[in-house]
Structure formats: C-alpha cells, structure tokens
Amino acid sequence: MANPKTSQNAGNVDAERYVLRLYVSGVTPRSIVAIKNIREICETRLRGRYDLQVIDILQQPTSARDARIEAVPTLIKQRPPPMRRLVGDLSHRDRLLVGLGLTSSHTPG
C-alpha cells in the first residue's frame, strides 16, 4: 500500500489525538473503500489531530497476528480510550462516528 502512515500536524496538543490502525488485505475493493471512508472522516472530523496507519496484512502478517485480527478490513481506535474495533468497509458513517466517539449513539427524535 502506498503511503502507509499519515500524520497530521504533530505539534497540535490542544485537542485529544486519535491513533488509528486500519488493517486491510491487499488492494481489494473493500480495502480501497475502507481506506477512502476512514480518510474522509479523519480529514473532515479530526483534521490536524490524528495518526492513521494502514497495515496490509499480506505484507505484514505478524502485525495482524499480534493485533488479533480475524477479519479485514478492521479499524482499531487505540486512542483516545476506550479502544474500539470496527470491522468492515466503514461505509456506515453513523456507526463509524459512534465507534470513534465522535457522536452519541442516539439520534434526536
């Protein structure tokens, strides 16, 4: 995968920094969609306060084993706590935002 790590504005300490790892398996349609979806959320909701690492388990199988990855794509939010795992292509935007702690789990009604 090209450009496996993206770091935005490392000097910004005002807001809590998000540390994210996205595990994918090669250049597949699901992997491409998952990468696109998480990058879009990061740039629109976390601009300047995230580190995103994309890990191809075909190239780094020990990383997947160490992280106990059972399905791909899998996004792991390491920071801020609590740690979360989101499995799939991340196209359910509302679920992704809740999983990242960027919105509440209920909608006003």
Output the domain CATH number for residue 71: 3.40.30.10
> What is the pLDDT, as a whole number, of residue 103?
84
Query: What tokens does 84 get?
Result: 């979360």
Does residue 90 belong to any structural domain of this protein?
yes
pLDDT of residue 105: 53
Strands, sheet with 5-7, edge to edge from the N-terminal-most edge strand? 5-7, 50-56, 18-24, 74-79, 84-87
pLDDT at 106 over 60: no
Residue 20 maps to a domain: yes
Is 41 part of a structural domain of the chain?
A: yes
Task: Flag whether pLDDT at 6 surpasses 60.
Answer: no
Predicted TM-score (pTM) of the model is 0.81
Number of domains within the chain? 1
- 10 close to 74: Cβ distance less than 8 angstroms: no
11 or 52: which leads in pLDDT: 52
104 pLDDT exceeds 70?
no
SS3 96: helix
In a domain, 13, yes or no: yes
Residue with tokens 């780094």: 60
**pLDDT at residue 24 is higher than 80:** yes
**107: which 2 tokens?**
């909608």
In a domain, 19, yes or no: yes
Average pLDDT (45-58) is 97
Domain presence at residue 108: no
Asked whether the predicted pLDDT for residue 95 surpasses 70, the reply is yes
**Range of the structural domain that residue 17 is part of:** 5-99
Residue 106 lies in a domain: no
